[in-house]
Amino acid sequence: MAINLLEMLQSQIGGELASQASKFLGESESNTSKAVGSILPTLLGSLAGKGSSESGARGILDFIKTNNIDGSILSNLGGLFSGGQGTDSLLNAGGGILKFLVGDKLGSIVDVISNVAGVKTGSSSSLLKMAAPLLMGFVGKYIKEKSIDALGLKNLLGGQRDFISKGVPSALSSVLGLASTAGNTASTASKMTSGGGSSNTSGGGNNMLKWLLPLLLLGALAYFLGRKGCSNSMESPAAAVTATMDAAKMAADSAAAAMKRVADSIAATVSKFSLPGGVELNAKKGSFTDKIATYFSDANATLDPNMAFAFDGVNFKTGSDSLTAESSAQLDELVAVLNAYATVAIKVVGHTDNVGNAAANKKLSDMRAKSVKAYLVGKGVAGARVATAGMGPDKPIADNATEEGKATNRRVEVVVTKK
């Protein structure tokens, strides 16, 4: 019976990761748990893909050795989410591991996890960075304890496919090579149809011909060599070539359809804006950027002092006014919008929950609003266009009696003061 690494991962780190990270990120534990439940199989699937050959598995072992990954990180999970240097180190390590595991697929994975779990894109990105070192620590510890070599790791990871495929979001299964159409055949077909970076089947005909040409030549050679032999065997090469062509076409069509489903799934969650000045902007539907860009693009929209746009991708380090690295993505989108609508003026307003000293909370909320302004000004937005205010716990929009309500109340909003 195959060892189920995913089940072991979820049991040993999944629950605590969701519990601790939800507090740090200001997300509900329920949604964070959903995100973690998708992230762990996604990352393990990426690792399994890299280790599908003995040389790939050797590369994983080299990465683990070079980065001194031995599982020691798992001994103090609680301390990793208290903010400060421990959390920063975890996120930095996670960024490097994600480059190794998923490369340029990271953006798509962040968007899908965010959509599936209902968490902010910034939270999705941070969770991936938090989970990656824990996953690699778990695997590194297991490898060390079991004295696993490259071949053993290849076989171990190869046995995880069925377990992983049940947990990976459907929109990512094909990206990770876990589509039901299956394994190496689909992977080969995908390469055959990729001609020049395109994944559509009409662009892959020449590549398929190049792939089949040697088979056709071999078939013809076998035909002529077999002319003097038994007549019953003379049709076998042609039949084999025909069967190969049919199988290749079916695999190519299936792989192309799977990739189209992934693209359609991601496209369905994205709004596209053509801003004044020719800037193209893509934003997740329903996000802060989507809402504020839609508002500015509507010539009939009027000013409303009670209308506030809450950031959903901007976060701060625990107990401070320091923006997290992930916050820059959404703030840069706001910069693009403000640059496109040059006459607009805004007020950035910080809010907190009711935990702790009200005066201290009000000061913190004001400092956080000023941090957002400082970022915008640093990117070229005129300071006169951005006012700030800190409300502390004075204007809750949810019930502070629940953890989810408190998380909702801890927010920074943008109010449009001039359009």
Per residue in 246-271, pLDDT (tens digit) is 655 555 555 555 545 544 544 556 78
Q: Which of 66, 69, 215 is nearest to 142 (CA)?
A: 69
Co-location of 194 and 276 in the same domain: no
Comparing 398 with 84, which gets the higher pLDDT?
A: 398
How is residue 233 annotated by DSSP?
Answer: G
Co-location of 338 and 230 in the same domain: no
Q: Inform me whether the pLDDT recorded for 241 exceeds 90.
A: no
Co-location of 241 and 338 in the same domain: no
- Cβ atoms of residues 409 and 26 within 8 Å: no
pLDDT of residue 232: 47
Q: Inform me whether the pLDDT recorded for 176 exceeds 60.
A: yes
pLDDT of residue 82: 65
Residue 260 lies in domain: 187-267
Q: Is 182 inside any structural domain?
A: no
Q: Is 128 inside any structural domain?
A: yes
Give the whole-angstrom CA distance, residue 346 versus residue 415. 6
Range among 1-5, 302-306, 371-375 with highest mean pLDDT value: 371-375
* Angle formed at CA 113 by CA 108 and CA 119, multiple of 5 degrees: 125
Co-location of 10 and 106 in the same domain: yes
Q: Inform me whether the pLDDT recorded for 228 exceeds 50.
A: no
Q: Is 44 inside any structural domain?
A: yes
Q: Is 175 inside any structural domain?
A: no
Q: Inform me whether the pLDDT recorded for 207 exceeds 50.
A: no
What confidence tens digit (pLDDT) does each residue in 282-335 have? Answer: 888 889 999 999 999 998 999 998 899 999 989 888 778 899 888 888 999 999
Co-location of 297 and 348 in the same domain: yes
Per the structure, how many domains does the chain have? Answer: 3
Share of the chain above pLDDT 90, in %: 49
What type of residue is 174?
A: S
Comparing 40 with 213, which gets the higher pLDDT?
A: 40
Q: Is 62 inside any structural domain?
A: yes
pTM for this predicted structure: 0.47
pLDDT of residue 247: 57
Q: Are strands 386-390 and 345-351 parallel, antiparallel or unpaired?
A: parallel
pLDDT of residue 371: 94
Q: Is 153 inside any structural domain?
A: yes
Instruction: For tokens 């996120």, name the residue.
Output: 91
Give the whole-angstrom CA distance, residue 132 versus residue 406. 28
Co-location of 129 and 38 in the same domain: yes
Tell me the HSE value of 165 on the side-chain side, using a 13 A CA sphere.
14
Co-location of 58 and 164 in the same domain: yes
